[in-house]
Structure 1
Amino acid sequence: MEREKIISHLYNALQPDANLRQQAENGIMELQTKDYSYFIENMVDIFTDSRSELQLKLISGIILKNSLHSKDQAIQKAYEEKWCALDSLKRDSLKTKIIGSFSNPDEKIHLLSGSSLGHIARIELPHKMYQDFFASMEMYLLDISKAAAVYEAIGVCCNCLIQETSFVFDDVANSIFNVCMQSLVDKRLDANIKEASLKCLMNSFEALETVFKEESSIRYFMGGIAETACVNHNLAKKSLICLNRFVYLFHALLKPKMFDIVSYINNFWNIADDDTKVQLLEFWTIVSEAGDVDVVNANLDFTLSHVFKALRKGEDYNEQSWNPHKAASACLEAINGVVREKLLHKQTVFEFIDREMLSGDKERIDVAAVALGSVVSGDSEEQLVRLVKVLINNMRDPVTEESCLWALAKICETNFYSIVEHLPFLISQTCDIIWNNYQTSTSAAWILSCIFQSLQKYKNMDKLPLHIPVDTQKQFLTYAYDQINQHFTYILQVLVKATENAKLEDSTLRVALFSALSELIRLTNDANQALLDEFIKYCIQKINECVVAVNKASANYIPIIEDVLSNYVILSEVISQERKKDSSKLLLNPYLDVLKSKPTTAIGEVYIAISHNVSDFSPYLNSLMPFISRDVTCLDEFILKSAINLIGCLANSMQTDFFQASTHLIPLLIQTLSSKEVPKKLKPSILSVFGDIALALGQYFEQYLDVSLMIFDQIVGLDRKSDEKYIDDLRHNVIVMIDCIVMTTSESQKMGEYMYRIVEGIKVLINTGNSISTSSAILNLLLDLNSLYGSNFDLNGRWIESFLYECLYSKDNTLIQEANDAFQRFKFE
């Protein structure tokens, strides 16, 4: 009966009637929850049964896959526990049945079987199960009919392990690499298998770092790419995508080979199709963003000639898709960020822009505006005087409007003085565009935001730049401030109306509008302070409306409403900072309502807002504690990070008054630090917060010395090779934490008892290699220990002298200087 019920639900899930589909989904979920083992067994049987109709196979395969893997960490953990609880013989039987569908002639079916097995392997491998997965996949590859499913299984497994776990691939990396490569270099195999192999390789790249440290592996990979690209046009494009990802991930390993790779890449410029051009432009964007100055400069003229051609919009130009025009613009920006001579100052580039801009042809002006916006950089006012006038004259023309507005926004950001004389016109025109909700409202809002940001930047400068006479700059700024102050109320009304009228799904426009609002508020002068009193009430009203909406919203609409709510929370924080009075009493209840609402990013934004005004909100800590306690152990990365940072801010602000809260929060921080489910990149920040708490509590922190030293010992004992960057971050932050603790509890008898243990731990760290930042932190800790304890606890031994010499021979100038200074402090015999 249960199987019949499952099949009935599966058929109903395919029906056009929404109510029937919903009932079916609820029924499927109920059956899965009731008996996971029986449910999975039936899904596999239906999916692999040769008598099942294709539609039934597809829907059962999709549900099977989704019952083995979820992006939600809590659900994924539950799936793992349920799957691992199955009898081992049953697990093996289910896997064998799934593998039986690897050779199904229907592409959707064999790919679903591959992804399902990949998700099973993702569950089992971290639990020391299915140890022969990669070896068995290599064996199944001998049957060409199974190849596509094999590659899907390996790719899905590797991608999930990379993204979601700390699985170490060292023992299987060579096997994965060889499995992928053998199809690329085998000329007998058809294009579909080669494409599956490329996809698998791209999903597995991060697992192969140890492989690509061997030059022979890089040569083998490049040979396979070259071989595959020659098969047909589609594989040429896919090969370039794969090569781009390879360069993006492993550029540091590829530096000796980059000129050879460039020579190979440049052969593709003769292929006329847009997809190939996009990948070539992406390649140069990646190389530029990697900071490869030598390679970019050596190929600059040749590359720019192709980039300028790609900037032209063809007859089939589609604004909604990623195309050569957009890729060329992004590429120009990236190149401009790395070249020794900024592109606008390069004669050939300026002449191209100047010629096209003054041509009078709208399409050529459009291209020139995009090029100008892509390469404009600071201190270019002299070159821009004539060009800005052309942009302004064409900023409302249908052909050139979007590009001219975008270029003007970039100029307002980088060369503000070049637009000052046009400021009244720019404010008038951009406000008109925004007020009437024209298509270009987003670009118009960014112009206003960039104007306000630039004024704020100059307002906060101790010294004005020297490339323009200071008196002239002061005249420009006075004039600009006067213009903003005269139109402050009008601009505010325009932006508020636009945020009210913006479509909920138009997040791009909303980001620009709220950015402009925030930057305008930061320019509020004394005469407009009364407006802020009213505006903060308006903001609170919008927060309250959004909280009600988000609590009522279905899952589909929550991301949209939380975005709106988050923007109003951020805006409320900006207003509170600019008001000349305490806003915390006004904002406390709305913020608490957000914290009580459904989990959204707005909760994290509330914690950030409180952190920025922590001294005003610290008297209300008792009201905030239930929520901080809840969220300091949550699994949402943004909320958790914001809660951890808030704890540090509260400790710094309240000092010893934070003691009572610390007795409750420190155990929770330790729990979060030790949790395997918490994103590991957040754990170093927890150590930093421990240091903040130690400095705040002073001698009262003594009761936490035991647990602090336990954390120190655990991090000292970690193998740096297992995850170098992560371990380095932990080491740096735990050393800073210990330094803070020592400084506040140095007179404690217990700390004296722990000193040899700390010194021995430092010696271990020094002997196992460290990042520059960790070495610097160790050096500072040693100096502090020396000032507190003199030469006691072996703090004047040869090991310190050796460490200082090691720092002197580093390539970091700051660390070398710190080591030189330290030699003056330590007195070695």
Structure 2
Amino acid sequence: MSDFTQLLEAAARADPHAEQTIKEWEQRSFSKYLQRLAQELSTEGKPTGARQLAGLLIKNSLQAKDDALQKEKHQRWTSLESNVRDGIKQPLLVAMRSGENGVSHIAAVAAAEVAAVELPYEQWPNFLSSLLENISATQFPDSVKVASLECLGYTCERVSFLSGPEINQPTTDSILNAIVNGIQSSRPDKVRLAAATALKNSLVFAHKNMEKKEERDAIMTTICEATRCQEPGVRAVAYECIVQIAILYYEKLQDYMTTLYELTTHTIREDIDEVAKSAIEFWSSLCEVEQDLLDESSELQERGLPIARPCMGYVEAAVTHLAPILAQTLTKQEEDSEEDTFNLHMAGHICLTCISQTVEDKIVQVIMPFVQQNIQNESWRLRDAAIMAFISMLDGPKEATIGPYVSQSVPMLLQLLSDLHVMVRDSAAHCISRICLLHIRYVPNDIFPSLLQALVAKCGEGSPKVASQACAALYNLASAFSEEAIQQQDSNALSPYMQNLMQTLLNVCDRPDGDESNLRVAAMEALSILISNSASDVQPLLVQLLPVFVQRFDLTFAMQDFDSSEQSKKDQIQGLLCAVVQALFRKLDKQTLLPFTDKVMEQLIRVLQNRNANCHEEVFSAISAVSDVVEADFAKYISTLQPLLIAGLRNFQAFQVCIVAVGTVGDISRNIEAQIQPYCDEVMDALIDSLKDSTIHRSVKPPVLSCFGDIAMAIGAAYEPYLQFSVMLLMQASSTKPPEDDEDLIEYFNLLRESILEAYVGIVQGLRDGNLLHQFYQYIPSVLQFLQELSVDPNRDDFVLSKAVGLVGDLAHALGPQIKDQINQQFIAKLLNDAIGSGDRALVETATWASSVVTQAVQG
């Protein structure tokens, strides 16, 4: 055995020295590295593990998740001499003909990665001919045919993913013909399975073929025939192909919908669960497509634009017959299944929910008969199915349509909370939870005390799953009082029950089975929201609770955390306690909280000092709440907290922690104002480094930019050393343009622009307070250019408009007649008029104020 083979075997066993040696060799001599790997992969008789790793390393040398790194890897490959590349490609084709399945499979994966780079440029002429020979020639075993079909499928998938040119049409046609022929009924089942999987991976690649009716018919006919294959795996993958076609080629479905309806409904009724789930997925996916199309059409109609892609209403046409078939799947419960197992019962429930959201009111008349006939059936399966069917209807129909049924259902659901079967009790609790979330105003007032009493009782249920659902229902019930909490009402409907609710949930937190079914989490989250949305008359109770939670927090430091499971449990409990502490600090006054603040901050800092703790996000949020209460008095904690804050700001990998740490810095800056100044050098360095880091998640950028404004407002004239660089970063961020057709990116760019505007507002106000506003004057043209772009941006949302108008007002107020010519412009008037005409009261108020100060500045 060669030294290289031994090295690969050691690396396959995750030997760190061997892995490092291989990595160094790749960096030192890429061409020889790949040639040796290809030789190892293709040599029969070598250890299988070494050969498989060789193929995997070839694939990894060309593939990357990051676009920039992917491009770099492909450039490194294409920079190799053609004879060197040929010396690697040929062994890959040889290895695909290996008698060992594991080797031929990994060779197929590696060859596909190479082919995805080479075929668009017609650089591998014998690739396709070799694979077609493998598939058609009788001398090759089925394992080679399977590997070859896998290779074609992976190649199509990778070509579709990469941004290079398309493969020429004759080659595309040959690949698809080979795959489609591989699915034919004359082929062995394992070859058909590989071909069907390859077709699923090729459907994006085949977009030109799917445009041609004759070719599309051939593909659809082959897939539909495969749904009748004796092998269940082939049937399931065939339906997965149909799912992809529904998503990718919705507008081409009309000719096939009758057949697809017949096939899927028969399969849902008659086939084994795994295949039936795939057939159900077709309808769930179709619902998602049609919901998007309906939303898109509604938006276009509102804007007076023509509908580009009409919804064909396939789900609505099928609902009368389809929904009852799906309702029957709800009777296929698995009593011993793990939580959240995706079984037939769950697939049917999800699909019915999707249908409800798509057809809205029309679902009620179809499903309510099933519910009414079975809700009191002697069979627990039918009772449970009736509840699940009712749940599936709750989020879809208009409130006026479903509301009366909700009102009628609550007394029955309260009875079913005491059903003899645990799954019925669980579903009843889940149904009540959904009603509390979606339709709380349809719970009859006279039932409210009974509802609370029943949920409290179910929190003590022997089944952790039912108890967890009861806690979730209390959470949703308390969430309904958020508006009343904002208005700081003296009392609300929960007030008389709060002491009992709090004590019940505290008891749940102490249950020995609290780790099961997310029970402890559900109880603590319910506690937090009850505190947050409590009325003023509950404050004495909250004052009593505060030392209880401080004591509970102290006890967590004695918990063992020797292994990952213990550490995870400790993190979870400390994180949940942070959320409760945060809620209490948001509700109680400074005088009440001050005696506990030192102790609470000591606990929070102690958790942050444990670098292994996985709840720093929650800790920083709690620290923000403390700083908001004690305001300037928070300065005494900042010297101890500073290195921990910096560590949070520099935690670029755990970007959620980084984001919350940035928010905490902003909150502290606003609360202690100039007292933050001695720490600003390190803080600003960390913030700027986060913007420079190309690997950091994009969602970090908006809060960082906004934080510049918080710091500037806090320290005034002392912001001068950071002014030029921070404004340059803001100008750079404001110069990027979102694509017109990417809703996620448009949403992100609106958030980014909102943060840029917030930063400018803070900087202008801070410099004005520090009598240094003249230093900002040189940046006014760039800021106004940004505002001008926003004035005509069709994707601008109201939050951006509000911040833009606020900045206009601040500039006019701060600089007045100095900039009267710059702001006496049509685009400024347009921004103000858009805001005044928005109909949003807060936005109109901001715009009215801004308009008045602009008028004063211009006339001044």
Please tell me the TM-score bracket, short chain as reference.
0.7 to 0.9
- Change beyond 3 A, Cα 1:91–1:618: farther
Matches within 5 A, 1:748-759: 748-759=773-784
Matches within 5 A, 1:585-734: 585-599=598-612, 601-615=614-628, 616=630, 619-633=636-650, 634-721=652-739, 724-725=745-746, 726-734=748-756
Q: Is the Cα–Cα contact under 8 Å of residues 184 and 194 in structure 1 kept in the other structure? A: no
| TM-score, structure 1 as length reference | 0.75
Aligned to 2:137: none
Q: Find the aligned partners of 1:33 and 1:463 in 2 and give their Cα distance.
A: 58
- Change beyond 3 A, Cα 1:62–1:454: same
Matches within 5 A, 1:750-769: 750-763=775-788
Question: Which of 281, 284, 297 is 1:282 aligned to?
Answer: 284
| TM-score, structure 2 as length reference | 0.73
Aligned to 1:443: 466
Give structure 1 stretches of 5+ with no counterpart.
14-23, 123-129, 160-168, 465-469
Q: CA deviation at 1:47?
A: 3.0
Aligned to 2:240: 241
Q: CA deviation at 1:98?
A: 6.8
Q: Is the Cα–Cα contact under 8 Å of residues 180 and 197 in structure 1 kept in the other structure? A: no
Q: Find the aligned partners of 2:167 and 2:849 in 1 and give their Cα distance.
A: 45
Q: Is the Cα–Cα contact under 8 Å of residues 195 and 235 in structure 1 kept in the other structure? A: yes
Q: CA deviation at 1:306?
A: 3.4
Q: Give secondary structure in 2 for the equivalent of 1:706.
A: helix
Q: CA deviation at 1:441?
A: 1.2
Q: Is the Cα–Cα contact under 8 Å of residues 244 and 279 in structure 1 kept in the other structure? A: yes
Q: CA deviation at 1:340?
A: 4.9
Q: CA deviation at 1:193?
A: 5.4
Q: Find the aligned partners of 1:731 and 1:513 in 2 and give their Cα distance.
A: 38
Residues 491-548 of structure 1 show CA distances to partners (whole Å, capped at 9, x for unaligned) of: 522x1332x4445xx4634433433454466667625744541332222322x245x6
Q: Find the aligned partners of 1:648 and 1:796 in 2 and give their Cα distance.
A: 33
Question: Which of 481, 503, 508 is 2:518 aligned to?
Answer: 508
1:313 matched to 2:332? yes
User: What code does the residue aligned with 1:741 have?
Assistant: I
Q: Find the aligned partners of 1:117 and 1:653 in 2 and give their Cα distance.
A: 60
Aligned to 2:510: 497
Question: Which of 182, 188, 196 is 2:181 aligned to?
Answer: 188
Q: CA deviation at 1:676?
A: 0.9
Q: Is the Cα–Cα contact under 8 Å of residues 373 and 410 in structure 1 kept in the other structure? A: yes
- Change beyond 3 A, Cα 1:770–1:326: closer
Question: Which of 96, 99, 103 is 1:109 aligned to?
Answer: 103
1:742 matched to 2:754? no
Aligned to 2:416: 391
Q: CA deviation at 1:353?
A: 1.6
Q: Find the aligned partners of 2:665 and 2:114 in 1 and give their Cα distance.
A: 39
Aligned to 1:535: 549
- Change beyond 3 A, Cα 1:666–1:311: same
1:329 matched to 2:342? no
Q: Is the Cα–Cα contact under 8 Å of residues 772 and 812 in structure 1 kept in the other structure? A: no
Q: Is the Cα–Cα contact under 8 Å of residues 653 and 696 in structure 2 kept in the other structure? A: yes
Aligned to 1:364: 382
Q: Is the Cα–Cα contact under 8 Å of residues 608 and 642 in structure 1 kept in the other structure? A: yes
Matches within 5 A, 1:362-511: 362-376=380-394, 379-380=403-404, 382-394=407-419, 396-398=420-422, 400-413=424-437, 414-415=439-440, 417=444, 419-423=447-451, 426-427=454-455, 429-433=457-461, 438=462, 440-451=463-474, 453-455=476-478, 457-458=480-481, 461=484, 481-486=495-500, 488-489=502-503, 491-493=505-507, 495-498=508-511, 500-503=512-515, 506=516, 508-511=518-521
Question: Which of 28, 49, 57 is 2:18 aligned to?
Answer: 28
User: What code does the residue aligned with 1:602 have?
Assistant: C
Aligned to 1:553: 563
Q: Is the Cα–Cα contact under 8 Å of residues 40 and 51 in structure 2 kept in the other structure? A: yes
Q: CA deviation at 1:717?
A: 3.8
- Change beyond 3 A, Cα 1:199–1:614: farther
Q: Is the Cα–Cα contact under 8 Å of residues 333 and 381 in structure 2 kept in the other structure? A: no
Q: Give secondary structure in 2 for the equivalent of 1:400.
A: helix
Q: Give secondary structure in 1 for the equivalent of 2:736.
A: coil
Q: Is the Cα–Cα contact under 8 Å of residues 61 and 112 in structure 1 kept in the other structure? A: yes
Q: CA deviation at 1:334?
A: 3.9
Q: Is the Cα–Cα contact under 8 Å of residues 417 and 428 in structure 2 kept in the other structure? A: yes
Q: Find the aligned partners of 2:454 and 2:542 in 1 and give their Cα distance.
A: 22
Matches within 5 A, 1:201-220: 201=202
- Change beyond 3 A, Cα 1:403–1:693: same
Q: Find the aligned partners of 2:528 and 2:91 in 1 and give their Cα distance.
A: 55
Question: Which of 824, 833, 838 is 1:796 aligned to?
Answer: 824
Between 150-159 and 589-598, report the one with greater CA deviation. 150-159
- Change beyond 3 A, Cα 1:225–1:385: same
Aligned to 1:127: none
Q: Find the aligned partners of 1:819 and 1:182 in 2 and give their Cα distance.
A: 61
Aligned to 2:261: 266
Q: CA deviation at 1:679?
A: 1.3
Q: Is the Cα–Cα contact under 8 Å of residues 96 and 107 in structure 2 kept in the other structure? A: no
User: What code does the residue aligned with 1:25 have?
Assistant: D
- Change beyond 3 A, Cα 1:778–1:533: closer
Q: Is the Cα–Cα contact under 8 Å of residues 184 and 228 in structure 1 kept in the other structure? A: no
Q: Find the aligned partners of 1:613 and 1:226 in 2 and give their Cα distance.
A: 62
Count of aligned residue pairs for this structure pair = 759
User: What code does the residue aligned with 1:624 have?
Assistant: L
Q: CA deviation at 1:565?
A: 4.8
1:49 matched to 2:43? yes
What is the aligned-residue RMSD (CA, Å)? 5.1
- Change beyond 3 A, Cα 1:151–1:81: closer
Q: Is the Cα–Cα contact under 8 Å of residues 184 and 227 in structure 1 kept in the other structure? A: no
Q: CA deviation at 1:677?
A: 0.7
- Change beyond 3 A, Cα 1:329–1:34: same
Q: Find the aligned partners of 1:794 and 1:424 in 2 and give their Cα distance.
A: 61
Q: Find the aligned partners of 1:461 and 1:513 in 2 and give their Cα distance.
A: 22
Q: Find the aligned partners of 1:357 and 1:684 in 2 and give their Cα distance.
A: 51
Q: CA deviation at 1:815?
A: 13
Residues 783-829 of structure 1 show CA distances to partners (whole Å, capped at 9, x for unaligned) of: 55455445635332355567789x69999999998999799767899
Identity %: 15
Q: Is the Cα–Cα contact under 8 Å of residues 102 and 149 in structure 1 kept in the other structure? A: no
Residues 23-72 of structure 1 show CA distances to partners (whole Å, capped at 9, x for unaligned) of: x634534544665558965655433333313344235545776788798x
- Change beyond 3 A, Cα 1:816–1:192: farther
Q: CA deviation at 1:678?
A: 0.7
Q: Find the aligned partners of 1:502 and 1:767 in 2 and give their Cα distance.
A: 54
Matches within 5 A, 1:515-526: 515-519=525-529, 526=540
Q: Is the Cα–Cα contact under 8 Å of residues 648 and 693 in structure 1 kept in the other structure? A: yes
Q: Is the Cα–Cα contact under 8 Å of residues 265 and 280 in structure 1 kept in the other structure? A: no
Residues 141-174 of structure 1 show CA distances to partners (whole Å, capped at 9, x for unaligned) of: 4533445225435646876xxxxxxxxx655468
Matches within 5 A, 1:85-124: 88=80, 92=85, 96=89, 99-100=92-93, 103-105=96-98, 106-116=100-110
Q: Find the aligned partners of 2:803 and 2:167 in 1 and give their Cα distance.
A: 37
